[in-house]
Structure 1
């Protein structure tokens, strides 16, 4: 998304020079959200963007991996040879965190790429028993698809709740029941201590050892324990990286070397809105960041827009449409909007009365209005905001 949209936006904004779009995968640039839904369930063969790169005069170089960067020479190294540049946009995304001890074990799968989804499609089609490691967003989405396909699913989470680190326990606890309602078993407080191959080549089986001493047997193990910026190829480049591996971009998405910008899952940026550096691994960040990078390059340094959007993402899981906008911390006041036992409800996070973040389950209007209120730094009347019958925008003071 980030790389392809940067190229498209450059042309749309009048960039006259040559553009090379380099990607390690052999596939044309594609959208990722359908991978855990339609593509995984065999309802779509792929999700390639409908972009005519030839008509845009974009040199699309597929199957080409970046291997290094020499900022002093303004040259990127690839496995097919060096690539000189005047401007470089780093958009290499993120890679799944591997499950310790499971490297090379047949039947263990990540879910990040089109190839990952295609490898998992027969698992779902065969209704195999599946163990999902990690009850985060991707774990919940895969469990949803697997249950829909008729697979028996066990989700294992080392933390004491689903979505640990993303949502507070009081909110995540309300989502726990979704697994049970969908027929998926959720086991929290259990870490995976080992994975071993069993069965036969014709019928591979994985044995998953847990920290409570139990062993689960499954036809496939799907890992969803996080992702890290795919920036290993930048080692020795001199480009500043954070402890999380992200390219440390500034408020214009410029990296630390002249002529280099970074966008999407591989880049973090300082947010004046939230007073901290953010690393956002979501679709909307890749799209909005690409527009900012292209605007900066097309308009020159004087016309570069500041990048400080309200983070946004969505997830479809267990028959529910979940949306989140903003960024919250434990210091923020949490306010329920509706009964979480119902099909639709929201949670607001306020600081000094100002709306900072919002989680909406089946309430898209709350999300749309809340996102605008967050952008404006609007103070809310907490009593009216807690009343789900009152439009959120009407709670503004």
Structure 2
């Protein structure tokens, strides 16, 4: 009997339950089948909709350019028991049971893939004209707002805020973006990287107010802490997200500072036979020497393969990806790879006032992260250089006319 067949035979009769029917959850279920798992797979989602991809929500779907973002997965043919509209309430690891609104669900292995939920603006829970953009229902509520070309105030100049402002301007809305920090993306990028992006708002006809805090939201207006009143037919809040793990309270599964599930380098949690993947989990990165909490689509795509392999006891390598993220905003294609926190120098490829440029972060002359604006080839080559850890010649790296891969020293 081959090693693979032995694993498949041992897996027969085992029950894997996946909580969360977003990218991470769906890909975990699919990866289990692709890697030969022959047992029962139950995929549980809180939303009633067929599992769907989230990036189109702030792009084509919001503007009516795409009608469907559902995953192209035939769950029935894969033998995946898909249970929608079922909210998870808690986990009892000692009993190997998941508690849901529909009753307890027993498991042999449990995968937590509940993602993240948006941070709400205090005092606006019941405000009818205040919107979030995280789910399909959120996008459906916002489509007529854009179609009506309302005056819109966006709270938060992060990734989601910029993408929504882009869509709203394309729809013909008057848009004001309010940001408490002194620049866009203040929590995601250092000043030298984020500062050039402030000009993008103005060029797109969007008013950007930095250093501005929202005092309250009134019917038809947003009032700032300095007393300014901004007319607002609708308010869209994009001030960050937190792991959707409140339902795990009392489950004896270790959580971190931000409420994220703490996992090891195989994405195993502190509870036996319980894994976590995607936006709800942090993991130790040997590459960067710290624990990473990555709220990006690519992380939800890659992590499931590690989880599936570990469930199958296939001798998995540690999960230590190069984080990757992309965004389309104000006519620009923005890509980021790596983790820049430990950099000791930066190198520009092109100037920030150019239409296309790349900012590279180095540590001991090795590339650890880069931000590419309109230079997808830099991103592709740079990501491979980060993975390889090879020493670079900073002089060659700084020449935007030369392929980034030519900067390899020696």
Aligned to 2:150: 128
Q: Deviations over 1:210-265 (max 9, x none)?
A: 12210112111000000000001100000000011000010000001110000000
Aligned to 2:330: 318
Q: Tell me which moved more, 124-133 or 331-340.
A: 331-340
1:256 corresponds to 2:270:
yes
Q: CA shift at 1:46, angstroms? A: 2.3
Contact 1:46 1:114 in 2 (8 A): no
Aligned to 1:202: none
Q: CA shift at 1:386, angstroms? A: 0.6
1:389 corresponds to 2:391:
no
Change (3 A) 1:215 1:330: farther
1:375 corresponds to 2:387:
yes
Q: CA shift at 1:185, angstroms? A: 0.4
> Normalising by structure 2, what TM-score?
0.93
Contact 2:343 2:361 in 1 (8 A): no
| 3-state SS, counterpart of residue 351 of structure 2 | coil
Contact 1:248 1:255 in 2 (8 A): yes
C-alpha distance in structure 2 between counterparts of 1:101 and 1:189, whole Å = 20
**4+ runs deviating over 3 angstroms:** none
Aligned to 2:185: 163
Q: CA shift at 1:303, angstroms? A: 1.3
Q: CA shift at 1:332, angstroms? A: 2.9
C-alpha distance in structure 2 between counterparts of 1:223 and 1:355, whole Å = 34
Aligned to 2:367: 355
C-alpha distance in structure 2 between counterparts of 1:160 and 1:123, whole Å = 28
Q: CA RMSD in A?
A: 0.9
C-alpha distance in structure 1 between counterparts of 2:343 and 2:386, whole Å = 17
Structure 2 counterparts to residues 168-183 of structure 1, below 5 A: 168-183=190-205
Alignment counterpart, residue 88 of structure 1, candidates 87, 110, 115: 110
1:273 corresponds to 2:287:
yes
Aligned to 1:240: 254
C-alpha distance in structure 1 between counterparts of 2:238 and 2:284, whole Å = 27
Question: Which consecutive residues of structure 1, in runs of 5 or more, have no partner in the other structure?
Answer: 199-204
C-alpha distance in structure 2 between counterparts of 1:193 and 1:82, whole Å = 43
Aligned to 1:8: 30
Q: CA shift at 1:305, angstroms? A: 2.4
Question: Which consecutive residues of structure 2, in runs of 5 or more, have no partner in the other structure?
Answer: 1-22
Contact 1:94 1:227 in 2 (8 A): yes
C-alpha distance in structure 2 between counterparts of 1:275 and 1:214, whole Å = 45
Change (3 A) 1:224 1:68: same
Aligned to 2:11: none
Q: CA shift at 1:331, angstroms? A: 4.5
Aligned to 1:208: 222
C-alpha distance in structure 2 between counterparts of 1:282 and 1:332, whole Å = 25
C-alpha distance in structure 1 between counterparts of 2:36 and 2:194, whole Å = 46
> Normalising by structure 1, what TM-score?
0.96
1:229 corresponds to 2:251:
no
Aligned to 2:47: 25
Alignment counterpart, residue 305 of structure 1, candidates 308, 312, 317: 317
C-alpha distance in structure 2 between counterparts of 1:43 and 1:321, whole Å = 18
Aligned to 1:139: 161
Q: Tell me which moved more, 164-173 or 385-394.
A: 164-173
Q: CA shift at 1:306, angstroms? A: 1.0
Change (3 A) 1:107 1:163: same
Alignment counterpart, residue 89 of structure 2, candidates 64, 67, 79: 67
C-alpha distance in structure 1 between counterparts of 2:104 and 2:192, whole Å = 52
1:37 corresponds to 2:28:
no
Contact 1:10 1:295 in 2 (8 A): yes
C-alpha distance in structure 2 between counterparts of 1:114 and 1:388, whole Å = 40
Contact 2:342 2:363 in 1 (8 A): no
C-alpha distance in structure 2 between counterparts of 1:353 and 1:304, whole Å = 30
Alignment counterpart, residue 134 of structure 2, candidates 112, 115, 126: 112
| 3-state SS, counterpart of residue 284 of structure 1 | helix
